[in-house]
Structure 1
Amino acid sequence: MSKPRKQIILGHYLGGVNHSTVWSDPDAGSQIDFATFRHAAQAAERGKFDFFFLAEGLALRERQGEIFDQDVIGRPDAITVLTALAAVTEHLGLIATVNATFNEPYELARQLATLDHLSGGRAGWNIVTSSDAFTGGNFRRGGFLDRADRYTRAEEFLAAARQLWDSWADDDIVADKESGQFLRRPDAGSFAFSGRQFDISGRFTVPRSPQGQPVILQAGVSSEGREFAAGGGPDAIFSPYHTLAEAQAFYRDIRQRSGVPGRPKVLPGASFVLGDTEADAIERHREITYAQISGRGAQVLLETVWNRDLSAFDPDGPLPDVDPDTEAPPFIQGRARIHQNAPETVAQWREIAEANKYTLRELAIHVFGRTEFVGTPTQVADRLDAFVQSDGSDGFIIGSHLTPAGIDEFVDRVVPLLQERGSLRTEYEGTTLRDNLGLPALTGQVTPARV
């Protein structure tokens, strides 16, 4: 019996807090004008995407004590933007990246439950953590949280938020036919949570939302992150792997750890470049890539691992012949530390560069790029579909080099091909984000207080 065809999950991320956007393009839009977000979200909904996703930037990044001149300034608050988008979309999920280190469960649970109500059940939360003292300086908590405690806090944060969302049952507010008024169960919203990170109690003010709970996403592929992802935490996890073999290994690992069929969903970030011929697409991809990662940008990306000034090294020359500085304070402030063991990472990169004859810039493009689909619309549809059907992922979070109109090309030229082969919906199946992702609705019972 043949394996049933998987339905591809598609999210759209709007580039802006990384090196993916080509700001020099004359068609590049503002990162704070609402028209930018409206265009991108409505295009994604036209393409029957599952959700629209916003990353988070809590601090202006610095290099050697000065704001990096090629970085993004003025990125607004994600939940506020998504609340506005709820009014101009009907089916698209709305997912905000929010840091569990620098927020509080009651406040964030209330904001997300409100967004879920206002959107009719389309809210989601991408939970991230931080041990970055530089970013922490913007908050009362500062940078006190040790790296080893990040997931402890995240797990407790999510448990507390879920208890708050579950403190109202589905039938806690009912209409009284005789009086014409709405009645509430006397203890509706009551909660008490006590743990290492949080000790809170009271009444949650927002009744149970349409999904029961917002959809939870998480990024992180360390052993701790994988355990958190597979242990009932998130509904979906971001995968950073570019090649099918690496992606399949990660997919199998998450499924084995979870033991729950189809959960969590695995969704790598991806980009695309289209051309009328494959040769056209390859040439266009080369031009776009070199515009995304300039020589200066490549130096800065590698400085995050070398932790030293690399401006004296030719971007089109060999890798720096110096070792990373593991003793100095962070040379780049405000970027997430993806590579924890700098000497080991640099050794691996040297092997990659030597094997492929990469320059400094070419290595930066290789190691900091996303899963890329380059070719004609038919080739991109074929490769994307094959990746999912081969269990490299359950779908992709698609971005473009051009904000906000870059996604239009994918929607107009690739989406119809995926729909023709039965791998992508032609209409939305349900009314909530959980419906469209194939996740169970969380309904019904009040969670007992954890004391």
Structure 2
Amino acid sequence: MSARPRSRVHLAVCLPAAATAAPPVGTGAESGARFRSRSRSEASSRSPVDFAAYERLARTAEAGHLDFLLLTEPAGPWPREHPGRGRDLDVAGRPEPLTVLAALTGVTERLGLAATVDASCTEPYELARELATLDHLSAGRAAWHLTGTGDARDGGNFRRGGCPDPAERDRRAAELQRVAAELWDSWPSPDEPARPFAHRGRHFDIAGEFTVPRPPQGHPVLIQDGNTPRERESAAARADVVVTRHGTLEEARARYADVKRRSARHGRGPDDVRVMSGVGVVLGETAAEARERAAVLRRREVSPLHAILTLERIWGTDLSSYDPEGPLPDIDPVPDPVLPRGRSGRGDTVALAEKWRALSREKGLSIRETVIEAGSTPSFIGTPAAVAEELVRFVRNGAVDGFVLVPDPTPGGLDEFVDRVVPLLQERGAFRTRYRGTTLRAHLGLPEPAQTR
């Protein structure tokens, strides 16, 4: 079963929780020097723990009537090949996303607020309590993006070392979601006390009483990735929003139909799941100017040091002796010292390395150029009118229900889209001119889940 093509576009914005500190080019000592050389006022506005940057982004998203803001964050330090050097090689601080979102409830009224949750490193009771609290504080605007870490070093930050294989991660994530729902549903109504709960499962064995009334949305909105068939099967069974990798119109239509077919097999209706594509947007007064801006942005986002660090995540070893403007390493990726090869969450690293080598040979690209070419966020590039038309075309042709925007990662990176593209979508009748509901489920047109207890 597939859903009838929709006429309205759903829009959200996604940023790493630390992205307000500096764009991705700001990974490395060179960015630290640039950051420290700014004036006091500039540096303050770019601090990863300065609330003003998050507030500005959220207010801009709400002014544009976007569905939600998603803060993503890995569970462990990056880069993994240089333990102990996180402050030198990464942004100087990684705020906890749910805490940031709780603060944003005080400066927003309608915008949905979502955070990445790592199922491999999270316990259900504390997670359910945090999300229920956020949903109450925001009057029904909370969401969570459920993922599972693939890096053994991330797991070492928590109560367990290592990490399970992908199938076991999926089982843990599914059980985590079920237990959270059981906890939320254990409180029958605001006027009644919580019922005792008990869960005995493969990954969790807990019992007691929940301490927060059932969330205003019933369950906070659940977001999951759907890039691979395995991810789409998992997301189709339980997610409210499935985020897929962007591609051609036909590729997107095939993924969209696949999600809807899978969700139907799980007994869900076509409007129980929204499919959104992650994209960047680069605007210009002309198509040529937009392409030129896109090229500049790609090079800015991938500094020479960032290119080497990106390659190290595939090769699994220190590549600091390699010239980022030179050819790719001729050595194969090394097995993870903790996990078997291919189970580090980076997929088959040997195959990926060969794919990148083939790209490099075909186009004569250096390490940095290869990372730019292979790792760039898929984007709509063009004039505001052309971009608005493409967004509408994808939705009205049954390829997606909407888009999760990945803007230029600076405090003002979303402004141009809201100022120049959103009004054109509204003129076409393809996007709301005001919020008509108060909860995130209302924005997305999703039903409230039935209470299971």
- TM-score tier, shorter chain, comes to 0.7 to 0.9
Query: Which of 74, 77, 100 matches 1:57?
Result: 74
1:175-190 correspondence to structure 2 within 5 Å: 184=192, 188-190=194-196
1:10-409 correspondence to structure 2 within 5 Å: 10-15=11-16, 21-23=24-26, 29-62=46-79, 63-67=81-85, 69-143=88-162, 145-170=164-189, 172-173=190-191, 184=192, 188-231=194-237, 233-259=238-264, 260-326=269-335, 339-409=346-416
Shift of residue 298, structure 1, vs aligned partner:
1.4
Match in the other structure for 2:30: none
Q: Cα gap change, 1:166/1:385 in structure 2, threshold over 3 Å: closer, same or farther?
A: same
Shift of residue 158, structure 1, vs aligned partner:
0.5
Q: Cα gap change, 1:16/1:98 in structure 2, threshold over 3 Å: closer, same or farther?
A: closer
**Does the CA contact (< 8 Å) of 1:114 and 1:206 recur in 2?**
yes
The more displaced of 43-52 and 215-224 is 215-224
Kindly report the root-mean-square deviation, in angstroms, between the aligned alpha carbons of the 2 structures. 2.5
CA distance in structure 2 between the aligned counterparts of 1:251 and 1:358, rounded to whole angstroms: 33
**Does the CA contact (< 8 Å) of 1:50 and 1:433 recur in 2?**
yes
Match in the other structure for 1:179: none
**Does the CA contact (< 8 Å) of 2:326 and 2:367 recur in 1?**
yes
CA distance in structure 2 between the aligned counterparts of 1:16 and 1:359, rounded to whole angstroms: 30
Partner SS, residue 46 of structure 2: coil
Query: Which of 431, 435, 438 matches 2:438?
Result: 431
CA distance in structure 2 between the aligned counterparts of 1:224 and 1:94, rounded to whole angstroms: 27
- In the superposition, the TM-score normalised over structure 1's length comes to 0.87
Could you list the structure 1 runs, at least 4 aligned residues long, displaced by more than 6 angstroms after superposition.
25-28
Match in the other structure for 2:31: none
CA distance in structure 2 between the aligned counterparts of 1:419 and 1:5, rounded to whole angstroms: 15
CA distance in structure 1 between the aligned counterparts of 2:338 and 2:219, rounded to whole angstroms: 40
**Does the CA contact (< 8 Å) of 2:16 and 2:73 recur in 1?**
no
Unaligned runs of 5+ in 1: 174-183, 331-335
Aligned residues: 425
CA distance in structure 1 between the aligned counterparts of 2:440 and 2:47, rounded to whole angstroms: 28
Partner SS, residue 432 of structure 2: coil
**Does the CA contact (< 8 Å) of 1:83 and 1:115 recur in 2?**
yes
Question: Identity percentage over the alignment?
Answer: 45
Residue type at the aligned position of 2:282: V
Shift of residue 146, structure 1, vs aligned partner:
4.5
**Does the CA contact (< 8 Å) of 1:243 and 1:371 recur in 2?**
no
Q: Cα gap change, 1:125/1:189 in structure 2, threshold over 3 Å: closer, same or farther?
A: farther
Partner SS, residue 373 of structure 1: strand
Q: Which has the higher helix share?
A: 2
Partner SS, residue 54 of structure 1: strand
The more displaced of 401-410 and 45-54 is 401-410
The more displaced of 424-433 and 233-242 is 233-242
Q: Cα gap change, 1:305/1:124 in structure 2, threshold over 3 Å: closer, same or farther?
A: same
